Each structure stands twice: as C-alpha cells, then as structure tokens.
Chain A
C-alpha cells in the first residue's frame, strides 16, 4: 500500500465521522493550548528575569576581586593572589575567555566652576568598553587618544552642588552645567570647591582638565553608577597623588601596592562558559561573581514554577489522549466489517495498523496545530492586557517589554511533535486491536 493512498484513506475516514473527529480534535486543542500557555507563563518569567539581568549588565561578564574575606585554612595553600598584570595574563589563558579587562576604581571629584560632583571613576581600556557592555547613551565611547576623556555615569550631572554652601546638597539641581561644553576638571582633591577650613593646609593635589566624551543614560544598569576613564589617565592621577602623599610622609598599605587593579573583568565567549570560568578563577583564590549567580537562582525558581504549570497543562493533554483512544476504539467497532473486507482483499495487517495510527496521529496533529494557533493568540492577548501589570514586578527601563506569556519558537515545534506522538500512542492499542481482528468474523453474513 502506498503512503499517499494511506493518507487519503485515513483523511477520508476522519472526514466521514466529522462530528466525532471534531470533538476529539477539540480535546487535543484544549490540551495542547493549555500546556503551551501554561509553559509560556514560566518562559515569560525566565525571559523577564533575563532581560532584567541584561539591563543590569552583561551576563557573560565575570567580576574578579581580591578575596579579602578569606581566612579558611584549605585555601591558604594556593598562596596569596593579587590583581595585577600577571593575573590578567593568567585569566586570558583560561579556555573560552573572550576578553579580560583590568579595572581600577578611584573616587574622584569633578569640578565645574563653583560646582562639584563626586563620582566613582573606573579606569578601563577604551576599546574594551563595548566588549564589556558599557553602553554610552549620549556622545561617544572612550578612544585611546583621548586625554583625560571621561564617560560620565548616569547620576553625575544631577549631583553637581555648590560646595561652598553650608548644606551643599540643598543646591542640587541648581547648577546648569553643560558637561560637554563647559570647562570641567577632575581631581583627587576631595575638598575641591569647598571653603578652606581654618588652619588647613591647601591641598597640593592636582586638577586635571577633563573632556566629557559621553554619558551613560541607562539608569538601571550596574554600570550606571560609575564614570569611565582610560585606565592610563587614572593611573597617572594616582601616581601623581602617590608622589605628593609620599612627600608628605603618608605610607600606604603594602598589600594594596601589589594589587595594581581594583578588579578585573572577564568576558566569556558563550553564556555556557561563564560558570566554568568563574569556577576556575575562584579556584585560583580570587573572589568572582557574575550575574549568572542570580540567574541560576532564578532559573531554579522558574523551573519549578514551569514544572507545576506544565503539569497542570499535561493533565488536560492526558485527557485528550484518552479521548483519542476512545474515538479510535469506537471507530474499530464501527468498521469491523470494513477491516475484515480489507484483509480478505489482501490488505497487509501492517497497513491496517498504519491506517489507524495515521488517523490517531492526524487527530493529534490537527489538534496540536490549532491548539498552537490558539495559544499564540492567547499569549498575544495576555501580553496586551496583562503586560502592564507585569511591568511593575521587575526593575526595568520603561521601554523594555515585559511578558506575561512568552512562547519560544522551539516550543511550537515541540508541542506539535508532542501532540502527534500523543495521538499515535493513544491510537496504538486500538490499531493493534484492528490488526488482530479476525477477518472471518468480520465478513460473516448476517
């Protein structure tokens, strides 16, 4: 028997029993739709978490710091580790590392005439900013040739205050500083712009002419709190300050000298590599964290929710499967004579089995397909009408969409295949029964 003949015959049989087929298909539609919608709620949660995390920074970036709080005996065998150029090289040699960026962060004051704003400045390698997902919203990113160029953090501008005043914070917002055009300076002198206190020696720390090249506008990112400068410029400021401090006899902590960087960022090539790299770095004796840590927790939670929701959906699909079995058994009773005749006319028992399996699978397929269309529509409606409600639950910028229901493309494919498989499995027993039916009793004269 040719496959095409099998298909036509199967479809004809289904069409012949229209109302029963429709009702059975309806069961599968409800089953498939409920399982997909239920899962989509869980996937939406996953996706929202992920978007939220991505908003906070790059998921593929690992932050490495000196492990200050480590006192346990086991680890001491590894010896002291420092954040220096040697470490940068070591990290670069870890498999699947895309880039390594040493960072230094210094608390500095930016001055604009009588106004000043304090910010944590991070020294970076200019071309690495893009790689590590530090997004400049206004202006441009740092370039190697910039002399004391800076990308301002999201909150620097609104923090300009008149330091000469008694309560400087009250003057917040008063200054109308055009950061791109006004003359700005940056200094390690944290009393810049303040009234010299009586008897206090004037600070000899230098002011550096500052050029703002860009501004971070994304308010929810982990990167928004800091400003960014070329690490070379920052080191220069630090060295100058150290010379001055040395002259004034201020000796700094020895350990800190060995740590020429405050932190080192490592970017993985793929999301899957993050965990392994993080583990490797930790084993060297550093403290390493990444947004993956959060994600792992969130994945666990949403995984559980998905299982519960999917389970509820699965129950309805199971009932649909029973419906298919029932329909097929009915069909066999009805078509006993027909099956017998077909056998006598030379139908292979395998063909008869295939015919019934095809019919059952077809019910699964049609039900699955329509169920998917319905879930796609349902998902759309859910997002449209309940999407606003979900927005409040996540820390995200307003222009980012939050989902109530999210159906990944693969879920469509999987659900469809699953529906067909359910259909075929449900049809298996009836099909075997049809196969074993005695041709003789079927064609007996009544």
Chain B
C-alpha cells in the first residue's frame, strides 16, 4: 500500500477577483521508505503540494490519503494529533524557536505529545548526537551557524521517529558543501529508520538523492522519474498515462 496517495488534487487561490490555479489535477503515489523529491521552479506549485500533504491547507478538489487517513477531511484537532504521531518537518529557514536551546528545540514536538521532561531530553540529546551535533547542545539558535541550525532542525524532525518527514527546501539557505552534508544526513537517517522523506526543491543536484523525482511545472506533473539499481533515473510517465 502507498504511504501517500494523492488523487486528482486541484488547488485554486483567489487573489482579489482573479483565480490562480496553483495545482491542476495532480495524482501520484509515494511508497513507504521512499525518498521522494518534488522538483520545480518557484511558482510551479510544489510548495503548495507540500502544504496540502502536511494538512496546512485544504485542497479545492481531490483527495489526500496519508497512511490510510483522508488528510483533507481532518479537523484542526485531529490534524494536530496526526502531526504529533506521523509527521516531521524541516524548513528552509530552520524555524527554530530563538528563546530555546538546541536540546529544547529538538524536544519541542515531544512537549506537545506530553512526553516527560527527562525522557524528552534524553531523546533529544540522542538525536542531536545522531545528526552530528555534540558540542552545541546548550546553545541558542543565534549562536549557531546555518549548517548547525539545520542539523538541529533535522534532529527536531527525526526525534519523534515519525513515519513521514517533510522537508521544504532544506538546503535553500546553505552553501553547497553544507548542503551535501545535510542531504546525506537526511538520507542516511531516513534509510536507517525506514522512514519516508518528502523533499521539495528547485535544485537538481538535490534531486539526485531521491528514489523518486516528481517534476512539477505550472501546477501539473511534468514527469515522474524512478531511480533504478544502477542509480539511473527512468521516466515512468508513459506507464501512468497508459494506466489512467
């Protein structure tokens, strides 16, 4: 069964009198344990797609099924619960809480889940070690470099051992060397825990880390590529068109 199943999604924004079609009838599946990358230029609708999958927005039409649950039908409270249990998030601008230390930031999702302080800190420290941050655990975000901050961000997404981790341009603010490290880290963690990672990026080099690359253009899926055993990408677009 697919971890994420998107069917005939349409999203229309209303800007004043004008209607803007962000997504136009999009369908795809993502399997469990897969690293899936949405590749597209800015304004292509890839971020909208991520927001829809994360339940931050509701689609105008279509259905979003994650782990067998219709995300588009959950209310705020159920969504919060769903995020606590299944979803992790990594942001481009890290979005760490400035008042909290690295450990506290990482432990944040566990606070909402009601995990005890002692257990929380234990888990957070362990995850920070796993992302390669051993020394700066008591530092505030402002005292850390971008790469370090994103490591904290990654730790925060992985601390709850969620089934699915969403990452929105995770390397957007990082230099190429750090980007590479961060990407390798994310891939490594995902594979180790058999998690599903959904990436959004405009950077082709990032897409090479993925098992499945979905090209988005002007609100439509332009192409879907799958990585084969040799690490070569193969388009499966023709098959889908035949199937549907």
A residues neighboring B (CB under 8 Å): 1-2, 4-5, 9, 12-13, 16, 337-338, 341-351, 438-440, 443, 445-446
Contact = CB atoms under 8 A, between A and B. Distances in A.
B111 interface: yes
10 contacts: A4-B117, A5-B117, A13-B99, A341-B95, A344-B56, A344-B83, A347-B80, A438-B56, A443-B95, A446-B93
Contact of A346 (B56, B91, B112, B168): B112
B92 interface: yes
Interface of B: 51, 54, 56-57, 76-77, 80-81, 83-84, 87, 89, 91-93, 95, 97, 99, 108-109, 111-114, 116-117, 156, 168-169, 172
Given A345-B108, A346-B80, A12 B114 contact: no
B77 A1 contact: no
Contact of B83 (A2, A5, A16, A346): A346
A440 B83 contact: no
Contacts of B113: 346
A49 B95 CA distance: 65
A343 B80 contact: yes
Contacts, number: 65
Given A344-B83, A347-B80, A439 B56 contact: yes
Q: Of A341, A346, A350, A351, which is in contact with the most chain B CB atoms at under 10 Å from its CB?
A: A346
Given A344-B89, A345-B108, A337 B83 contact: no
Nearest to A439: B56
Contacts of B81: 346, 348
A440 B108 CA distance: 18
Contacts of B95: 337, 341, 443
B92 A445 contact: yes
Contact of B112 (A337, A351, A443): A351
Contacts of A443: 91, 95
A13 B98 CA distance: 11
Nearest to B157: A345
Contacts of A16: 99
Nearest first, the 6 A-B pairs at minimum CB distance are: A346-B84, A346-B83, A440-B56, A345-B109, A346-B112, A348-B80
Contact of A345 (B51, B92, B112): B112
B51 A440 contact: yes
B108 A12 contact: no
B146 to A, nearest CB: 14
Contact of A344 (B54, B111, B116, B169): B54
Nearest to A438: B56
